[in-house]
Amino acid sequence: MSVALSINLNKIALIRNSRPGNNPDLIAYAKQCIELGCQGITVHPRPDQRHIRASDIAPLAELCRLNNQIEFNIEGNPLEGALEDYPGFIPLVESARPDQCTLVPDASGQPTSDHGFDLQKTGSLLEPIIQNLKNQGIRVSLFMDPDLEQIRLAKQVGADRIELYTGPYAEAFSKGQHQEVLAQHVAAGALANEIGLGVNAGHDLNLDNLAEYRSVPYLTEVSIGHAFTLDSLQMGIKPSMAAYLNTLS
């Protein structure tokens, strides 16, 4: 069974924001990715708007709606409030009504996501947020480490899916020492499916380590941005998309 590929646009937006104007055009780039065969678009709008801006969300949501087989996934910290022209994470999600919202425990100044939720500490806080999003028809995924106890708690607080954090797997893979970490992800995928959670994954997955990660059972979707951007620079966007889709087929 094929695994869906959602392209994360953060790095493209970061390049755009480094100069005045609109180059590269984020919407045109997303449209090209869709035309080349990706199944989803992912964005992570942070309050400092260092890459994805709040103003990007509505046109991206509309683009995905016009291509009704394309999933729009907004990820971020649900506790991030308003800052200047950033309305706050949850209001931004509610205005866009994406197919999926991936909640991530990032701090405001954090360069990138680097750990999953500790639901023993935050589960009671997240539960009403999750229910509110689900009431609006938005699928909710929680960014999680492959910790079986935590995954059981993800089900208890009402999540629909988990997104397994693959940073440690990618780092171990680069050293040829990934089998133990991969086994943890395999166990996490099996448990998630057993208790009724869908399984997504993301962070530092690339063409080198993705094929082996496909052994994680019940994997539904991967979100890839940084590596896809680098491969597009080296190989071109069309060959890069073909390579990723082939690996996930």
What average pLDDT score do residues 186-209 get? 98
What average pLDDT score do residues 121-129 get? 96
Residue 203: active-site member: yes
- Based on the number of CB atoms within 10 Å of its own CB, is 42 exposed (0-12), middle (13-18) or buried (19 or more)? buried
Inter-residue contact 129 to 78 (CB < 8 Å)? yes
Inter-residue contact 134 to 140 (CB < 8 Å)? yes
Of 51, 178, 185, 203, catalytic: 203
Question: If we measure between CA atoms, which residue out of 146, 7, 165 comes closest to residue 71?
Answer: 7
Q: Which long-range contacts (CB under 8 A, 24 or more apart) does 227-232 make?
A: 228/7, 228/8, 229/11, 229/12, 231/206, 231/207
Percent of the chain with pLDDT over 70: 97
Inter-residue contact 185 to 222 (CB < 8 Å)? no
Residue 178: active-site member: no
Query: Per the structure block, which two tokens stand in for 48?
Result: 């400092």
CA distance 222 to 206: 10
Residue 44: active-site member: yes
Look up the pTM and report it: 0.95
- pLDDT for 62: 97
- pLDDT for 108: 61
Rg from Cα positions in the chain: 17
Of 71, 75, 80, 221, catalytic: 75
Domain containing residue 15: CATH number? 3.20.20.70
pLDDT band at 66 (very low <50, low <70, confident <90, very high): very high
CA distance 77 to 231: 28
> What's the domain count of the chain?
1
Mean pLDDT of the chain: 95
pLDDT band at 115 (very low <50, low <70, confident <90, very high): confident
Of 44, 51, 178, 185, catalytic: 44
What average pLDDT score do residues 30-39 get? 98
Look up tokens 């086994």; give the residue: 183
Tally Cβ neighbours within 10 Å of residue 90: 19
- pLDDT for 112: 64
Q: Which domain holds residue 71?
A: 4-248
